[in-house]
């Protein structure tokens, strides 16, 4: 609804725009092209080894899809069509351009938290590729990778504090807890939990959707929007995040190493049961036995794939 209302207002203000021709991404393309440079500037470190590790995934060609910053910059654009009067009065001492910068800062903070989680995740999974290149742990080792993740989190905290909004600080700090919780749920699940769609959805909220939904909400709060709009922004981000992970899980089966930037079938090879398998198990009960075998010995992957 938030982006829908934005589209409506945009058409209202730009009568020459034909609905079919509007490419929403073009609205933030210029800003996105500056993002990696901004991020590199935000993670300059004193010690050379840490400096090169921290900027590793902010270099040209390895920035990833930038899905989160894209959505967040669009959200900030959508919510700024009209700066509400209440905010204007409350923040009379802050120039509008500063407010704009603060909202857009969430895109950078979110990407730093995301990359920090990727660095730690690759260590936990012993992954050797990420974004089509060697993972940081593969190139510089596990220890530097963990420290670079910690460093990015610290810089994200400093940038968060500069937004001067304690509710937003608290939202994004809780997201870090959710990332850790989702990862732990994945690592420690029992067989019953792994076979439960409810458990999968809860874990997926923590691992993927929480960062997107709470960042969307943070932008609404920084834009001085009502509690209702903040909740809608949260719901929008939550649904988008869940959908994103469901598609990511399907792509793990259907994608190629070239399209994924890492090996395919990585979930099942790590004994991680995702939505495509859960749906297939409902359709083909005989798959349950195969999945049981697979969980005991993940090298049995070819047998399970016959059903998928």
- Compute the least distance from the CB of residue 147 to ligand GRG, in Å: 11
Q: Binding residues for ligand GRG, how many (CB under 6 A)?
A: 21
- Compute the least distance from the CB of residue 125 to ligand GRG, in Å: 9
Residue 108 binds ligand GRG (CB under 6 A): no
- Please answer whether residues 229 and 220 qualify as being in contact, where contact means their C-beta atoms are separated by less than 8 angstroms: yes
Residue 143 binds ligand GRG (CB under 6 A): no
**Paired tokens of 6:** 């934005």
Specify the 3-state DSSP secondary structure of 86. helix
- Compute the least distance from the CB of residue 106 to ligand GRG, in Å: 16
Beta bridge partners of 129: 134
User: Judged by CB under 6 A, which stretch of 17-25, 96-104, 172-180, 262-270 contacts ligand GRG?
Assistant: 172-180
What value, to the nearest 5°, has the Cα angle with vertex 111 and ends 21 and 128? 110
- Please answer whether residues 2 and 75 qualify as being in contact, where contact means their C-beta atoms are separated by less than 8 angstroms: yes
* String marking each residue 240-269 x if it binds ligand GRG according to CB under 6 A: -----x--x---------------------
DSSP assignments along 142-182, one per residue: HHHHHHHHHHHHHHHHHHHHTT--HHHHHHHHHHHHHHHHH
Residue 17 binds ligand GRG (CB under 6 A): no
- Please answer whether residues 249 and 264 qualify as being in contact, where contact means their C-beta atoms are separated by less than 8 angstroms: no
Beta bridge partners of 130: 133
Residue 258 host element (H or E): helix 257-260
User: Judged by CB under 6 A, which stretch of 73-81, 120-128, 187-195, 268-276 contacts ligand GRG?
Assistant: 120-128
**Pick 131 or 217: Cβ nearer ligand GRG:** 131
From 116, 171, 230, 290, residue interacting with ligand GRG (rule: CB under 6 A): 116
- Compute the least distance from the CB of residue 15 to ligand GRG, in Å: 36
**Pick 69 or 105: Cβ nearer ligand GRG:** 69
Cα separation of 238 and 206, whole Å? 10
**Pick 118 or 304: Cβ nearer ligand GRG:** 118
From 64, 69, 105, 276, residue interacting with ligand GRG (rule: CB under 6 A): 64
- Helices H, strands E: what count in the chain? 18, 2
Residues numbered 179 to 208 that lie near ligand GRG (CB under 6 A) are 179-180, 183, 207-208
**CB-count burial class (<10 Å; 0-12, 13-18, 19+) for 190:** exposed
- Compute the least distance from the CB of residue 148 to ligand GRG, in Å: 10
How many Å is the maximal CA-CA distance in the chain? 66
**Pick 91 or 202: Cβ nearer ligand GRG:** 202
For CA atoms 8, 13, 19, 24, the dihedral sign is: negative
Please name which of 264, 247, 216, 276 lies closest in space to residue 73, comparing C-alpha atoms: 216
**Pick 139 or 176: Cβ nearer ligand GRG:** 176
From 10, 52, 67, 303, residue interacting with ligand GRG (rule: CB under 6 A): 67
Residue 117 binds ligand GRG (CB under 6 A): yes
Please report, as ranges, the residues that interact with ligand GRG according to CB under 6 A: 64-65, 67, 113, 116-118, 120-121, 124, 131, 149, 153, 176, 179-180, 183, 207-208, 245, 248
């Amino acid at each position: 609804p938030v982006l829908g209302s934005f589209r409506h207002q945009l058409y209202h203000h730009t009568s020459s725009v034909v609905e079919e021709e509007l490419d929403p991404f073009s609205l933030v393309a210029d800003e996105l092209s500056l993002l990696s440079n901004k991020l590199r500037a935000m993670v300059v470190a004193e010690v050379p080894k840490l400096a090169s590790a921290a900027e590793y995934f902010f270099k040209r060609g390895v920035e990833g899809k930038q899905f989160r910053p894209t959505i967040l910059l669009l959200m900030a654009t959508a919510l700024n069509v009209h700066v509400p009067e209440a905010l204007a009065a409350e923040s009379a001492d802050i120039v509008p351009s500063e407010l704009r910068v603060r909202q857009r800062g969430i895109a950078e903070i979110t990407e730093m938290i995301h990359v920090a989680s990727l660095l730690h995740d690759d260590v936990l999974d012993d992954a050797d590729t990420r974004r089509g290149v060697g993972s940081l742990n593969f190139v510089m080792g596990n220890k530097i990778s963990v420290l670079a993740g910690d460093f990015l989190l610290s810089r994200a905290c400093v940038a968060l504090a500069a937004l001067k909004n304690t509710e937003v600080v608290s939202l994004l700090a809780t997201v870090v807890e959710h990332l850790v919780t989702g990862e732990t749920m994945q690592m420690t699940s029992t067989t019953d939990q792994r076979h439960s769609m409810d458990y999968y959805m809860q874990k997926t909220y923590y691992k993927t959707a929480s960062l997107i939904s709470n960042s969307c909400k943070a932008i609404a709060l920084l834009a001085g929007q009502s509690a209702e709009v903040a909740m809608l922004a949260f719901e929008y981000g939550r649904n988008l995040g869940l959908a994103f992970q469901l598609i990511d899980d399907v792509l793990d089966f259907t994608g190629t190493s070239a399209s994924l930037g890492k090996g395919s079938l990585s979930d099942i090879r790590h004994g991680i049961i995702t939505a495509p398998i859960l749906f297939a198990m409902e359709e083909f009960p005989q798959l349950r036995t195969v999945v049981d075998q697979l969980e005991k010995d993940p090298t049995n992957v070819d047998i399970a794939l016959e059903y998928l």
